[in-house]
């Protein structure tokens, strides 16, 4: 069991390091970000003055401890499973196409190891990923052909001021 766990740690650690080093070099630099006036803002917290926008948003986990978040990717709605173990945001092919990514132009050059086995993914840079009023620009991501749900990984989460999972709630803070 120890050998299996060590092997898994080395594989995942190696993949994360490889992705962190190689993906930025493989992906062309995107156009400058565009403002998206259609982004819905979260309701102000009752404890805050009305002229101040909230700087954090809380998302409850389901009975299995999973957190699902609806976001906008390049202006298109995407339903994400939050995965703090994923180095990069990962999109299903369908979500990538909805976000304006040309499926025919994708190069599946990155090997990944997932719960479903070994897969190949295509590196991309998303112009904008927004949750409420938390837009993050130029987000490195992967597009998978065989992914069941898009994953909100560290390439978005680490760009926020902080994120914290406690007592069955995920808190995202962007200010």
Q: What is the DSSP letter of 69?
A: E
Tell me the HSE value of 22 on the side-chain side, using a 13 A CA sphere.
12
Q: How many domains does the chain contain in total?
A: 1
Cα 110 to Cα 23: distance, rounded to the nearest angstrom: 8
Cα 18 to Cα 138: distance, rounded to the nearest angstrom: 19
Within-domain flag for 37 = no
Model confidence pLDDT, tens digit, residues 83-136: 999 999 999 999 999 999 999 999 999 998 877 778 899 999 999 999 988 899
Cα 73 to Cα 32: distance, rounded to the nearest angstrom: 15
Q: Is residue 96 within a helix (H) or strand (E), and if so which, with residue range?
A: helix 93-98
1-16 as b/e: b if 16+ CB within 10 A: eeeeeeeeeeeeeeee
Give the model's pLDDT for residue 114. 72
Give the model's pLDDT for residue 48. 46
Average pLDDT for the chain: 80
Within-domain flag for 36 = no
Give the residue numbers spanning the domain of 13. 2-28+44-173
Within-domain flag for 35 = no
Within-domain flag for 39 = no
Q: What is the CATH number of the domain that holds 90?
A: 2.40.70.10
Strands 150-152 vs 76-82: parallel, antiparallel or unpaired: parallel
Confidence of residue 170 (pLDDT cuts 50, 70, 90): very high
Tell me the HSE value of 173 on the side-chain side, using a 13 A CA sphere.
8
Within-domain flag for 38 = no
**pLDDT of residue 9 exceeding 80:** no
pTM: 0.69
Q: How would you class 105 by CB atoms within 10 Å of its CB: exposed for 0-12, middle for 13-18, buried for 19 or more?
A: exposed
Model confidence pLDDT, tens digit, residues 39-61: 444 444 444 445 566 688 999 99
Selected residue with higher pLDDT from 2 and 169? 169
């Amino acid at each position: 069991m120890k050998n299996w766990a060590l092997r898994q740690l080395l594989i995942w650690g190696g993949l994360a390091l490889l992705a962190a080093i190689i993906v930025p070099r493989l992906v062309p630099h995107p156009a400058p970000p565009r403002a998206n006036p259609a982004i819905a803002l979260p309701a102000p917290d009752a404890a805050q003055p009305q002229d101040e926008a909230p700087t954090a948003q809380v998302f409850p986990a389901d009975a299995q401890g999973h957190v699902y978040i609806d976001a906008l990717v390049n202006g298109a709605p995407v339903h994400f499973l939050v995965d703090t173990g994923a180095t990069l945001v990962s999109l299903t092919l369908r979500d990538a196409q909805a976000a304006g990514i040309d499926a025919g132009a994708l190069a599946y050059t990155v090997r990944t190891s997932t719960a479903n086995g070994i897969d190949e993914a295509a590196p991309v840079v998303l112009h904008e990923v927004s949750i409420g009023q938390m837009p993050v620009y130029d987000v490195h991501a992967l597009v998978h052909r065989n992914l069941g749900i898009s994953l909100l990984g560290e390439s978005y989460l680490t760009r926020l001021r902080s994120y914290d999972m406690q007592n069955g709630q995920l808190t995202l803070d962007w200010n």
